[in-house]
């Protein structure tokens, strides 16, 4: 098994698409990249901890390789938005790929470059590629939110603008 970590705005919207792929053992919502130990949701949202809302994925690379995770990640976000994602603004909602080893860094950098050069987006790709740091699981009520609160999850993913963006740019929705 291997681990991948992605920040793409609200972590509620990042779990379901990964969770539904064969070869994914677990998807955990949490916080990473900051300077506070064991941050709470309220602390992270206060923009004082330096953490990103993120998901940490445990996966079998023989079934679902890291390259495919990165490819899926791009379709879940607006990669040109440097100030957050969709309705959610601020540092804690910014997008980033957190690499766990040199191979992941190279794959993420190459994928970002290819997306930029594809011409799919006119603005520069703003996603940061950063070394993985300690990942703190979010509170239990945030875990697999799409299963626990499906109606609210659906309203949020549509109301935030995420679904419309995905449909417009990728022809999909999460």
Which residue out of 4, 10, 70, 108 is catalytically annotated?
10
Residue 45 known to be catalytic: no
Q: Contact 9/85 with Cβ under 8 angstroms?
A: yes
Signed CA dihedral, 138, 144, 150, 153: sign only: positive
d(CA 109, CA 140): 33
Q: What's the token pair of residue 131? A: 């070394």
Burial (Cβ within 10 Å: 0-12, 13-18, ≥19) of residue 86: buried
d(CA 137, CA 38): 9
In sequence order, which ranges of the chain are alpha helices (DSSP H)? 12-19, 41-45, 66-74, 102-118, 145-148, 150-159, 162-170
- Positions marked active-site: 10
């Amino acid at each position: 098994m291997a681990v991948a970590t992605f920040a793409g705005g609200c972590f509620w919207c990042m779990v379901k698409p990964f969770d539904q792929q064969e070869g994914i053992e677990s998807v955990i919502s949490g916080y990473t990249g900051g300077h506070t130990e064991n941050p709470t949701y309220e602390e992270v949202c206060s923009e004082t901890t330096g953490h990103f809302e993120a998901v940490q994925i445990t996966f079998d690379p023989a079934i679902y390789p890291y390259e495919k995770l990165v490819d899926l990640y791009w379709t879940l976000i607006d990669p040109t938005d440097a100030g957050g994602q969709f309705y959610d603004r601020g540092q804690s909602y910014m997008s980033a790929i957190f690499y766990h080893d040199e191979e992941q860094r190279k794959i993420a950098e190459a994928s970002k470059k290819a997306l930029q050069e594809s011409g799919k987006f006119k603005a520069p790709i703003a996603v940061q590629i950063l070394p993985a740091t300690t990942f703190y699981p979010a509170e239990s009520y945030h875990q697999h939110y799409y299963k626990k609160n499906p109606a609210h999850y659906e309203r949020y993913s549509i109301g935030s603008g995420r679904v419309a963006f995905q449909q417009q740019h990728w022809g999909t929705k999460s």
